[in-house]
Amino acid sequence: MNIKLKTRHDIKKMKKSAAILAQVLEGLKGLVEPGVNTWKLDKFAYDHITNNNAKPAFLGYKPSNDMPPFPGTLCISVNEEVVHGIPSKERILRNGDIVSIDCGVLKNGFYSDAAYTYKVGRVSEQKEHLINTTKKALLNGIEAFKVGNTLGDLGWAVENTALEAGYSVVKVFVGHGIGRGLHEPPQVPNYGLKKHGLTFVEGMALAIEPMVNIGTEDVEILDDGWTVVTADRKSSAHFEHTVVLTENGTEILTMFDGF
């Protein structure tokens, strides 16, 4: 496995990319409301990223020959949509929805990647609890990301948080390394066994991203080739940060106010 460790210079560049991304996710807080279409959210993100001399990492992304290029700046996934939802003028957010928004930025040759699940108006107690649990799962995973720990420690911390709340984690989609590539080794599962797997060392940069479902962990992909939904159509939440191990410890690069 070819893990690409980051130098101080690399991390400095990644921080610039991550700062733009964090501004997008923070700015969306004021735009996510009942009645707005998801295309409007996407346009805000595109404009902010390009106005800062950066590129949307997801726009036109094509991971394989049998998939269409992704048509948006943001992946916008509502309620039972887990990840990779496509922005649309026809998709209107409604009171009580939850919407997971994933964004990637390329700036000066380095990528950042983060996601946040927003409440649309007033949501049910169950959805509120799902959001809080998923955010906690991410933070617990980040806490396990330190020199000397393993991928299994991180995955265990994420999944155990979800299981204790009575939820499940999606296993067929995982986090990943990040840097000059949007997706670098290693893969970062949201499950695992303590003290198993790759050992973390200084210079590693990961995009840690738990996807937590109220019901089954099983998912399906819709006919658009991108949108992933829960098999039982119960709600899902998604949080993600770009995180790096430095000489001073673990640093979250995509942090913003309220996250």
CATH number at residue 189: 3.90.230.10
- Per the structure, how many domains does the chain have? 1
- Quick count: other Cβ atoms within 10 Å of Cβ 42? 25
- Is residue 143 part of an annotated ligand binding site? no
Position 257 in a domain:
no
Please, what's the largest Cα pairwise distance for the chain?
Answer: 48
Position 46 in a domain:
yes
- Is residue 241 part of an annotated ligand binding site? no
- Is residue 102 part of an annotated ligand binding site? yes
- Is residue 183 part of an annotated ligand binding site? yes
Burial zone of 53 (CB within 10 Å; 0-12 exposed, 13-18 middle, 19+ buried): exposed
Length of the chain: 259
Position 256 in a domain:
no
Residues 125-164: pLDDT tens digits? 999 999 999 999 999 999 999 999 999 999 999 999 999 9
Question: Using an 8 Å Cβ cutoff, are 35 and 92 in contact?
Answer: yes
For residue 155, the model assigns a pLDDT of 98
- Is residue 218 part of an annotated ligand binding site? no
Q: What is the residue range of 207's domain?
A: 8-62+69-248
- Is residue 113 part of an annotated ligand binding site? yes
Which candidate, 63, 32, 62, places its Cα nearest to that of 45? Answer: 32
Position 178 in a domain:
yes
Give SS3 for 1.
Answer: coil
Give every CB contact of residue 125 below 8 A, 6+ residues apart in sequence.
none
Tens digit of each residue's pLDDT, the chain (259 residues): 799 999 999 999 999 999 999 999 999 999 999 999 999 999 999 999 999 999 999 999 998 888 899 999 999 999 999 999 999 999 999 999 999 999 999 999 999 999 999 999 999 999 999 999 999 999 999 999 999 999 999 999 999 999 999 999 999 999 999 999 999 999 999 999 999 999 999 999 999 999 999 999 999 999 999 999 999 999 999 999 999 999 999 999 999 998 9
Position 255 in a domain:
no
Position 254 in a domain:
no
Which candidate, 65, 110, 63, places its Cα nearest to that of 83? Answer: 63
Position 115 in a domain:
yes
For residue 66, the model assigns a pLDDT of 84
For residue 258, the model assigns a pLDDT of 85
Position 132 in a domain:
yes
Computed from CA positions of residues 228, 59, 240, 154, in that sequence, does the dihedral angle turn out positive or negative? Answer: positive
Computed from CA positions of residues 250, 106, 189, 164, in that sequence, does the dihedral angle turn out positive or negative? Answer: positive
Q: How far, in Å, CA of 37 to CA of 93, rounded?
A: 6
- Is residue 176 part of an annotated ligand binding site? yes
